[in-house]
């Protein structure tokens, strides 16, 4: 791994507590694959020819994220970014290594678990209750959520009538209803119009300033530059660099 560091200063900065400790993490999982068969072969063979193969998605990755820090994870498709984020959230098992998280974790992604047959209002209520808020607390924030999401009267309609951008806006609004100790963002800001992306980035900054820790996965490098204090580069599951945003992105652009 290439370690990207900032120039030394006259005095060492005050080191904040570690919010997320990722130590020598390996992640493997199995998927099915099969070669192409003609219709005749498929009917004669059925699906017995499918083979299970192992994918080594994350390879011996180690780095720490401090409390109040925002770090962006960059890399090409299939580099292990989203898999690592799911592991931090406790949704993906590890082959080896350890991940330690300080406090509550909130995972926000474009595939956030929302109930498509329920209205936007009902989804806000369910999401808030899942976070441990009371119904009174959720209702007191409902107006703020409606305004932030920009959904207006659409909040009364079922989620299955929403566009992907509308669903993403509501998911982000629900996920940031309560500032978690660690907020994980997986491409969630890539969906929506320019105005909402700017609002979302500002909200991430507010979370960071409130001492919430942010780990962001996105292909939008401008979001990383504008929001994050550090960046990490994953390539084919391995950590190539972790350090100053500009240097990590410059290295990523050479791959």
Domains along the sequence of the chain with CATH: 15-34+50-104+180-255 (3.40.50.300), 115-173 (no CATH)
Question: What pLDDT shows up at residue 165?
Answer: 84
Cβ proximity of 50 and 32 under 8 Å: yes
227 pLDDT above the threshold of 90: no
Average pLDDT (83-101) is 95
161-194 pLDDT tens trace: 999 888 888 888 888 888 889 989 887 666 667 7
Cβ proximity of 190 and 214 under 8 Å: no
Q: Return the axis-axis angle of helices 120-130 and 164-175, rounded to nearest 10°.
A: 30
Least confident piece of the model among 3-7, 102-106, 117-121, 188-192: 3-7
5-60 pLDDT tens trace: 555 455 555 678 999 999 999 999 888 766 666 666 656 655 555 667 889 999 99
Integer Cα distance of 150 and 104 in angstroms? 27
The pTM (predicted TM-score) of the whole model is 0.77
At residue 89 the predicted structure's pLDDT band, cuts being 50, 70 and 90, is very high
Question: What pLDDT shows up at residue 206?
Answer: 84
């Amino acid at each position: 791994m290439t370690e990207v560091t900032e120039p030394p200063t006259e005095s060492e900065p005050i080191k904040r507590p570690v919010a997320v400790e990722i130590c020598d993490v390996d992640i493997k999982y199995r998927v099915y694959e099969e070669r192409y068969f003609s219709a005749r072969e498929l009917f004669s063979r059925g699906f017995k020819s499918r083979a299970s193969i192992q994918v080594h998605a994350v390879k011996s990755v180690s780095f720490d994220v401090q409390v109040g820090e925002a770090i962006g994870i960059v890399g090409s498709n299939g580099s292990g970014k989203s898999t690592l984020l799911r592991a931090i959230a406790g949704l993906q098992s590890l082959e080896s290594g350890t991940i330690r998280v300080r406090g509550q974790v909130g995972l926000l992604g474009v595939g956030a678990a929302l109930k498509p047959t329920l209205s936007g209002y009902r989804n806000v209520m369910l999401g808030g209750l899942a976070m441990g808020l009371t119904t009174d607390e959720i209702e007191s924030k409902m107006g703020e959520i409606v305004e932030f999401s920009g959904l207006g009267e659409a909040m009364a309609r079922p989620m299955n009538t929403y566009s992907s951008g509308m669903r993403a806006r509501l998911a982000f609004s629900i996920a940031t209803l309560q500032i978690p100790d660690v907020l994980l963002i997986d491409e969630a800001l890539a969906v929506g119009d320019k105005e909402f992306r700017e609002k979302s980035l500002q909200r991430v900054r507010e979370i960071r300033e409130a001492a919430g820790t942010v780990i962001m996965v996105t292909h939008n490098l401008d979001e990383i530059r504008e929001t994050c204090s550090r960046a990490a580069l994953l390539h084919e599951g391995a950590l190539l660099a972790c350090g100053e945003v500009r240097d990590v992105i410059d290295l990523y652009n050479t791959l």
